[in-house]
Amino acid sequence: MREIVLDTETTGLDPLRGDRLVEIGCIEIFNRMPTGQSYHVYINPERDMPAEAFAVHGLSTEFLASKPLFTEVVDEFLAFIADTPLVIHNASFDISFINAELERIKRPVIARDRLVDTLLLARRKHPGVSNRLDDLCSRYAIDNSRRTKHGALLDAELLAEVYVDLIGARQSQLILASEATITQVGHGDMPRRQREIPLAPRVTDAEREAHRAFIATLGDKPIWNEYLPPAAEAAE
């Protein structure tokens, strides 16, 4: 099954108060395994970057000014995600910004029944503790040392790893791999079955005699001796 792990960065916390999307990162997974396909884009938000948001992701107004508008990348983005389920940490936040951008350019919004919210999954599996992405990386021994700032593509990559552990898919994969190894070893140890009645020989006595006569015509130095190592030739 194809799924898209998605993350965004924004200018703030509320699209209804003028905050905008500035980055989208997507990782494609198939049967819970990354395929190597990804989608990443920076977006010009057409407004300034508040200091609080800049401190989180480090994307400045000057850097984003030369980036495309959402309307210029929307077709490529929608083609990549297609109708695939979207795996998002705190999905209501990211999808509210994406849908606000879609509504702004009169495009259909993304249905919420497509969303797989890993924050909700984590809260069910680990109640009463913090379930931020960094916390989950620590919990599942996933290296997040590159995450000095929030970044949509990097966070999507980390979330793809977290997601596999969160739903127990990595353990299932290890069990399947272990069983496959055991099965292979077991097959190697199995004795070969013997036929109750041996097959009749297909080479007749006349054919054997003809082969012996042909070999005799080759003399004492048949051509294949030229390919033998010197030690083997001397031993003949």
For residues 57 and 24, the answer to whether their CB atoms sit within 8 Å is no
> In this structure, what token pair is assigned to residue 124?
């069910």
DSSP type of residue 11: S
Q: Which of 57, 126, 150, 211 is catalytic?
A: 150
Helical segments of 82-168, H only: 91-104, 118-125, 133-139, 152-166
Report helix angle 152-166 to 118-125, nearest 10: 40
Asked about 89 being catalytic, the answer comes back as no
* Three-state helix/strand/coil letters over 43-87: CCCCCCCCHHHHHHHCCCHHHHCCCCCHHHHHHHHHHHHCCCCEE
DSSP type of residue 148: S
Report helix angle 169-189 to 152-166, nearest 10: 60
How close are the terminal C-alpha atoms of the chain, in Å?
Answer: 63
Angstrom distance (rounded) from CA 223 to CA 221: 6
Angstrom distance (rounded) from CA 1 to CA 31: 5
Q: Active-site residues: which are they? A: 150
